[in-house]
Chains A and B, each alone.
Chain A
């Protein structure tokens, strides 16, 4: 058992122990969950500190760190084909920051679940199962293993939204499930195609190893996704382009990009606060991570071909998400749409195919990870108290809940990209990348960078306007006196959960190298791989 296996399966172990707890001890499930997530955070911190930042990873197994490889499934398929599936884990600059982020956000989620009373055991067990799946997705380097973890994420989320969610929880849960599954089953077909095309040079067997899939030399000549002499077309589209598109759509649903984003507002609004935190903080990042690691890693030629479209989708997501956020009356919906807008930056950054842009995209994912977690937690604070989160039902909260207002103000300013906060770094690098793209020759026009800047402007508008509408002016609540007494200021527990997230936003805003240093080599490797196809 290496570090990563412990990291992945520790929560699963905790979940199993929880299920064995007698009914009388059900309340101790949350302590178990807390212990497991704290242990995970410590472990991920250890991994971060001992991470060798000179190693690039990406497409070379030797430069991955904490690698674990076990032979898992060996199937003889047909007469001449051997199917090779490994239990293969490893970290590089792309996955390490996301592992740390996941550990932080999971801890926040457990902290914010403290007041759950409905079937506590089941709730925390599902949360821990989800935790296992998320960690597994970020560590897996075998496509089969990745897919297993990727799908295992869905079911706990379905239940967490469906059982502990709001009024329309059934609808939201099913919609979320179906959307993601629709993307991922087609991904399965691409996986099958890839596996047929790629052989492990050492054994000659067909393999699910992602790193082998990234090496053009491992593709059979004239194989379905092969590089050399590939005449395969499906419905008139070249096979490699179609494979790239299907994988991209599967992950883009998670990100989410604009035409495929409609599950997100519903899921967020109906989900309980901790699940919103996990959704926004971690699961959206699975999409961005998948696009970087898998779409671009395995199909760099197609990424170079289609990055103009990816950039366009990114810009549309930024602007559309921003305008929609402006129009929302429900605070949680507003933040959900702001997520769409902010994740658009990730896509735009990836599409630039420049070091600045991709680094910015990764940074934006990290920064948005804990900022959106903090935002959703803050919404949860007032929703817990009065079960309402309509912006117009609150006014003058600043004088009524001063502490809360301070936290909200910091989170809002950090999110809208004020210099000194982490979101600024991420968005600035993405826009720098987009501006440079034309001169470096990766083909994104400058107006996309302008579009991104307008997105930042929009985020300032909706965040500040919300601040003005809800927090300033004469104190007045829809619920009158009852609400005024219910709306108490932040408790110590809530502050403890919020401090680290906002502290991280400031620390990373001042010292972005904390993320950039481990990231840099890996990003440069990706860029160098892709640039040979431009």
Chain B
């Protein structure tokens, strides 16, 4: 006991120092408590109090993140890593969460029967905290806790509005699938710890341990770990939950699932890939091959299955699977020391999805359906909406003059550079599949304008005019579409932001 005494002061000093680097997350935590408080006591008098508390928390966290000192200090005994990479990722996450909070607020205002929304903001904040940790850590325990925080938050979000069997089923599937994947990941982690005695995947101890460990077993352990990350990212074959959950969940929640968790998971994955592929040993090669193989399969399956979808939310689910494959390519460009390419792709991806899901929310509200055939001839009724939705679709395909095109071009450029320097035909296949799946994706994104403009109107319920409240969502979605055009024409604007040291 006594021999620890002299160390207590430096330990406490370190913790207090660390707290300074933890301010954005503290802001989120305070907002979390504040939101619960508001939903319990103040919502009765002022309905928007919990939402305001949520928004203030996010904005404060955003400000603190933006102004954060990112000198890669040791934080909490190296459990966290505060660097510019995580800073940008967290800004993207906070942006996405703020918009989704807004979507939820709008959704709740017309959703029947009315349900208290205070709790959902609190859960969203808790999930955001998990996402933040995910971007900050290279420590397996921290990563696991973060993944679980995000997962449990997501389960609740999916189930929160559940009214019918389909929605409950989606939530149930999500929970079961998620817990199984988490169990696999934990098992893999325990194996890794057993082999190496270290839980930091960038540490030398873990590298050494991995080299010493039996190849087959440690490869197996790696694959188990990838199961957990794969679940969050939704790459093949861990994508099977996406279509059902995306379809069953309320649209703003689907927008959430499709966007921000991927940012957190991809950042963790990038750190892992960077740490391991740098080493010349077998597990670096295993990881790299796994990444390339999964990227190819994910792009192919996501895009091919999307062809058969008639429900726009299912379609977007498979589209997000396909884009995950592309994100894995972008991870390679991060390994190639071009983090801005990865961030450009991520932020474009988030803008596209937020725009598309915003439009879907309005369409769902106006037509009461998410099935594409029900949108037949609706282009006449909502010309601007469908034009913007088509434009966002074009951006998802990756055609100029949208920022989706620039994002894909940058990723191709990066991979091509890799191919030139390393000269592995693996990268060539990645390029070819990436290009081919872009063409395939055109088929199904074109379904939106095809039904909207090309097909004739089916006799449907008379138009009830653009209802109140949805115009905020509409305005934001249109704004994001404009941003897609702007960043498509002038990508420097966004890239320069991510390039600041």
Contact = CB atoms under 8 A, between A and B. Distances in A.
Interface of A: 73-79, 81, 83, 119, 122, 147-148, 151-152, 154-155, 158-159, 162-163, 169-170, 173-174, 177-178, 181-182, 185-186, 188-189, 192-193, 195-196, 224, 234
A487 B499 CA distance: 67
Given A79-B337, A158-B446, A189 B490 contact: no
Interface in B438-484: 438-439, 442-443, 446, 449-450, 453-454
A181 B454 CA distance: 20
Given A151-B400, A159-B453, A192-B413, A74 B435 contact: no
Contact of B336 (A78, A155, A181, A195): A78
B412 A78 contact: no
Given A163-B454, A192-B413, A196-B417, A74 B399 contact: no
Interface size class of B (residues with CB under 8 A): 35 or more
Contacts of A193: 416
B450 A170 contact: yes
B410 interface: yes
Nearest to B454: A162
B412 A122 contact: no
15 contacts: A74-B492, A75-B492, A77-B338, A77-B410, A78-B337, A119-B380, A122-B383, A154-B399, A162-B453, A162-B454, A174-B446, A174-B450, A178-B439, A181-B442, A224-B420
Interface string B383-424: 100000010001000011100010001101110110010000
A177 to B, nearest CB: 7
Given A79-B337, A162-B450, A169-B454, A195 B413 contact: yes
B439 A192 contact: no
Nearest to A145: B400
B399 A151 contact: yes
Contacts of B435: 185-186, 188-189
Contacts of A122: 383
A192 B409 contact: yes
B439 A181 contact: yes
Nearest to B449: A159
A188 B492 contact: no
Contacts of B491: 73, 75
A189 B446 CA distance: 23
Given A78-B336, A196-B417, A148 B438 contact: no
Contacts of B399: 151, 154-155, 181
B417 A75 contact: no
Nearest to A83: B413
Contacts of A189: 412, 416, 431-432, 435
The 5 A-B residue pairs whose C-beta atoms are closest, nearest first, are A148-B400, A185-B435, A162-B454, A151-B400, A192-B416
B495 interface: yes
B73 interface: no
Interface string B3-24: 0000000000000000000000
Contacts of B401: 148, 152
A147 B402 CA distance: 13
B171 to A, nearest CB: 37
B428 interface: yes
A170 to B, nearest CB: 6
Given A79-B337, A162-B449, A192-B416, 4 more contacts: A77-B417, A152-B401, A185-B438, A224-B420
A195 B409 CA distance: 12
A430 to B, nearest CB: 33
A83 B492 CA distance: 11
A154 B449 CA distance: 14
Nearest to A169: B454
Nearest to A195: B413
A170 B453 CA distance: 11
Interface in B175-197: none
Contacts of B499: 76
A162 B383 CA distance: 16
B241 to A, nearest CB: 30
Contacts of A152: 400-401
Contact of A73 (B337, B416, B438, B492): B492
Contacts of B341: 77
B495 A75 contact: yes
B492 A185 contact: no
Contacts of A74: 492
Contacts of A119: 380
B394 A182 contact: no
B409 A78 contact: no
Which of B390, B414, B442, B499 is packed against the most chain A CB atoms within 10 Å?
B442
A16 B91 CA distance: 35
Contacts of B417: 77-78, 81, 196
Interface string B309-326: 000000000000000000
Given A78-B338, A178-B439, A182-B439, A192 B492 contact: no
Contacts of B436: 185
Nearest to B401: A148
A224 B428 CA distance: 13
Given A147-B400, A163-B453, A170-B454, A77 B438 contact: no
Given A188-B412, A189-B431, A192-B413, A177 B446 contact: yes
Nearest to A179: B439
A234 B424 CA distance: 11
A177 B449 CA distance: 13
B489 to A, nearest CB: 9
Nearest to A78: B338
Which of B414, B417, B436 is packed against the most chain A CB atoms within 10 Å?
B417
A119 B439 CA distance: 29
B416 A178 contact: no
Contacts of A163: 453-454
B443 to A, nearest CB: 7
A73 B490 contact: yes
Contact of B413 (A76, A77, A185): A77
Nearest to A193: B416
Nearest to B384: A19
Given A185-B438, A195-B413, A224-B420, A178 B450 contact: no
A157 B394 CA distance: 14
Interface in B330-357: 336-338, 341
Given A122-B383, A159-B453, A188-B435, A177 B412 contact: no
Nearest to B408: A188
A234 B416 contact: no
B382 to A, nearest CB: 13
A192 B436 CA distance: 16
A235 to B, nearest CB: 9
Nearest to A173: B454
A150 to B, nearest CB: 8
Contacts of A170: 450, 454
